[in-house]
């Protein structure tokens, strides 16, 4: 296997189609106060009417632009920060953008700013293995992730942006009778909650995934598996761009390259935020910053039970279509799928020590590669094209926090462990409800920040992940 290379974070220009030409503006039926040049912030009059700036994607608009020679305009505005907002969302990842979108769409709160310290997609929303599923067995998490999967299923239509959902199905493997019993119990819980689940015996897994190691010399014998056909993958970049464009259409200011450096307080209230682009007033403030949760919360004087760890992901060189499903390895927290470009995308456990580096470590590269070859021996000669690391919020019980904080108008969303990307739509939906109503959404009341003080932990590690630790 060739030495891996650290993946590039991507180009900031990917979310920014060029502005329309003068000819297109003359032919367009979309009203504009003033036509901006590419990369120029819109004037105040246009910012107040974002719906008039961004057209709807459709076959008709594609044909019209092709016939008129028009170029596509920006997907979202390069907004400048205003002096104050009704709600400021700190963190321009998937959760932060989804929260802002649903605040405007579901609750009519449009004086909202999303602050991103880099460019959109530079954080965890662009550093994951793109899996979506709802095969959870702990009450509360089961319903939450099913709600998220249902939102995923309609998200492209909702956002008018193709998020490339591929419901190829996920198979979680069992490597012993006890693991198969656990999967049967999980499948029954899923079905009782109206979630699709199918228990497979060894023969069923062999027919579906004949390239796995079923030999008598296999390191981890396969006894069966649990299949969720609606699980699959989503293009992570498209999720960030789609929510950013959708929020912008609703009037939200998406402000990039704006790092939070402090909070303004008046007693037990947050009155504003200090940023690298100036001071911004806020009636309500929401923290949704993935791996930097504890650091940003500390700026507001909060100490939360969250640690930051690295979680690596890997991509091989491209090969012909080979793996039609997502496969999870029951002997280790390992998962693998094939991308639309042909590369095998896989990952494993966190690196196991605190870090903010976003760089992978070789011992974990070796461990995860061993899992891949033990599961699918035929890929042993593939070259590793690249690998990267995301910064994970890890909590004591493996479940996240989402809700209010001891500061009356400050709200927190973080600690998602391995579950952040698949939770994106539901997390935004429920967090927006919590901010708008100052009351937790029913789906996330069990994820309150004070649950450990009350002795009410929600042990996703001890139950939901037991299968992987045998």
3-state secondary structure of 157: helix
pLDDT of residue 463: 58
- For 166-200, letters b (16+ CB in 10 Å) and e give bbbbbbbbbbbeebbebbeebbebbeeeebbbebb
The two tokens of residue 285 are 């403030």
Q: Where are the domains of the chain?
A: 15-74, 79-153+233-306+395-459, 154-232+308-393
Rounded to the nearest 5°, which phi and psi values hold at 214? Answer: -105, 10
Distance CA 32, CA 37 (A): 13
Tokens of 104: 């405007």
Q: Does domain 154-232+308-393 have CATH number 3.30.9.10?
A: yes
Q: What is the pLDDT of residue 462?
A: 57
DSSP designation for 21: P
The label of the residue with tokens 């793996």 reads 323
Q: Mind listing the pLDDT tens digit of every residue in the chain (470 residues)?
A: 333 332 333 333 223 333 333 333 333 333 333 333 333 333 333 334 344 345 788 898 889 888 988 888 889 999 999 999 999 999 999 999 999 999 999 999 999 999 999 999 888 898 889 999 999 999 999 999 999 999 999 999 999 999 999 999 999 999 999 999 999 999 999 999 999 999 999 999 999 999 999 999 898 999 999 999 999 999 999 999 999 999 999 999 999 999 999 999 999 999 999 999 999 999 999 999 988 999 999 999 999 999 999 999 999 999 999 999 999 998 888 999 999 999 999 999 888 888 888 777 788 889 999 999 999 999 999 999 988 888 989 999 889 999 999 999 999 999 999 999 999 999 999 999 999 999 999 999 999 998 988 887 877 765 544 444 33
CB burial of 346-378 (b: ≥16 within 10 Å; e: otherwise) equals: bbbbbbeeebeebebeeebbeebbebbbbbbee
Q: 434: which 2 tokens?
A: 């919590």
CB-CB contact of 360 with 351 (8 Å): yes
- CA atoms of 304 and 453, how far apart (whole Å): 11
Q: Which two tokens stand for residue 356?
A: 């903010």
C-alpha to C-alpha distance for 214 and 206, rounded to whole angstroms:
8
Which of 146, 174, 131, 137 lies closest to 347, judged by CA? 131
Residues 6+ apart with CB under 8 A from 299: 260, 261, 262, 263
Query: What is the predicted pLDDT for the residue at 314?
Result: 94
Across 205-215, b (16+ Cβ under 10 Å) vs e yields: beebbeebbee
What single DSSP character describes residue 12? G
* Alpha-carbon dihedral sign for residues 164, 167, 168, 169: positive
Distance CA 435, CA 430 (A): 9
Is 292 within 8 Å of 117 (Cβ atoms)? no
Which DSSP helix (H) or strand (E) runs through 232? strand 232-233
Extract the tokens encoding 325: 């499903």
Query: Given this model, what pLDDT does residue 56 score?
Result: 85
Burial class (CB in 10 A: 0-12, 13-18, 19+), 45: exposed
Q: Which residue's entry shows tokens 């299968």?
A: 467
Place of tokens 């057209």: 55
Asked if residue 17 lies in contact with residue 74, where contact means CB atoms within 8 angstroms, the answer is: yes
Whether 403 contacts 288, CB under 8 Å = no
Phi/psi of residue 201, each to 5°? -85, -175
Question: How many residues belong to the chain?
Answer: 470
How far is residue 207's CA from residue 304's CA, in Å, rounded to a whole number? 47
Number of Cβ within a 10 Å radius of residue 322: 12
Domain 79-153+233-306+395-459 has CATH 3.50.50.60: yes
8 A C-beta contact, residue 389 and residue 127:
yes
pLDDT at 16: 30
Q: How far apart are CA 187 and CA 231, in angstroms?
A: 14
Query: Edge-to-edge, what's the strand order for the sheet holding 170-174?
Result: 198-201, 224-228, 170-174, 326-329, 334-338, 344-354, 307-316, 384-394
| Beta carbons of 350 and 394 less than 8 angstroms apart | yes
**CA geometry: angle 377, 383, 386, nearest 5 deg:** 120
Entry pTM: 0.85
First CA to last CA distance, the chain: 28
The residue with tokens 């033990």 is: 374
């Amino acid at each position: 296997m060739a030495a891996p290379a650290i993946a590039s974070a991507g180009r900031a220009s990917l979310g920014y189609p060029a502005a329309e030409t003068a000819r297109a503006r003359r032919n367009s039926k979309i009203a504009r106060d003033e036509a901006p040049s590419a990369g120029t912030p819109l004037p105040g009059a246009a910012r107040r009417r974002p719906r008039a700036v961004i057209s709807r994607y459709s076959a008709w608009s594609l044909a019209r632009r092709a016939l008129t020679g028009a170029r596509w305009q920006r997907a979202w505005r390069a907004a400048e920060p205003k002096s104050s907002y009704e709600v400021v969302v700190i963190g321009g990842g998937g959760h932060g953008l989804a929260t802002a979108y649903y605040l405007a769409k579901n609750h009519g709160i449009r004086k909202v700013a999303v602050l991103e310290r880099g460019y959109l997609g530079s954080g965890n929303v662009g550093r994951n293995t793109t899996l979506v599923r709802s095969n959870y067995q702990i009450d509360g998490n089961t319903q939450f992730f099913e709600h998220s999967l249902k939102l995923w299923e309609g998200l492209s239509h909702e956002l008018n942006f193709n998020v490339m959902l591929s419901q190829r199905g996920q198979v979680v493997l069992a490597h012993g009778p006890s693991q198969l019993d656990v999967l049967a119990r999980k499948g029954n819980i899923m079905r009782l909650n109206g979630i699709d689940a199918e228990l497979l015996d060894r023969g069923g897994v062999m027919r579906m995934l004949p390239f796995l190691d079923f030999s008598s010399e296999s390191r981890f014998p396969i006894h069966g598996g649990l299949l969720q056909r609606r699980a699959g993958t989503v293009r992570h970049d498209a999720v960030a761009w789609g929510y950013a464009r959708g929020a912008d259409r609703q009037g939200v200011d998406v402000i990039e390259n704006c790092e939070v450096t402090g909070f303004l307080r008046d007693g037990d209230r947050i009155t504003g935020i200090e940023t690298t682009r100036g001071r911004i007033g806020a009636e309500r403030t929401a923290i949704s910053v993935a791996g930097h949760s504890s650091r940003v919360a500390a700026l507001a004087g909060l100490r939360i039970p969250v640690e930051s760890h690295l979680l690596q992901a890997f991509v091989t060189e491209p090969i012909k279509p080979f793996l039609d499903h997502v496969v999870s390895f029951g002997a280790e927290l390992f998962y693998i799928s094939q991308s639309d470009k042909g590369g095998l995308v896989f990952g494993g456990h966190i690196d196991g020590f605190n870090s903010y580096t976003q760089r992978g470590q070789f011992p974990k590269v070796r461990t995860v590669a061993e899992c891949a070859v033990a599961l699918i021996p035929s890929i042993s000669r593939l070259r590793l094209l690249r690998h990267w690391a995301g910064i994970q919020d890890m909590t004591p019980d493996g479940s996240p926090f989402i809700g209010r904080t001891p500061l009356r108008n400050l709200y927190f969303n973080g600690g998602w462990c391995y579950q952040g990307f698949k939770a994106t739509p539901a997390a935004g939906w429920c967090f927006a409800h919590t901010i708008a109503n100052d009351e937790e959404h029913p789906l996330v009341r069990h994820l309150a920040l004070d649950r450990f003080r009350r002795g009410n932990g929600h042990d996703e590690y001890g139950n939901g992940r037991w299968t992987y630790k045998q």
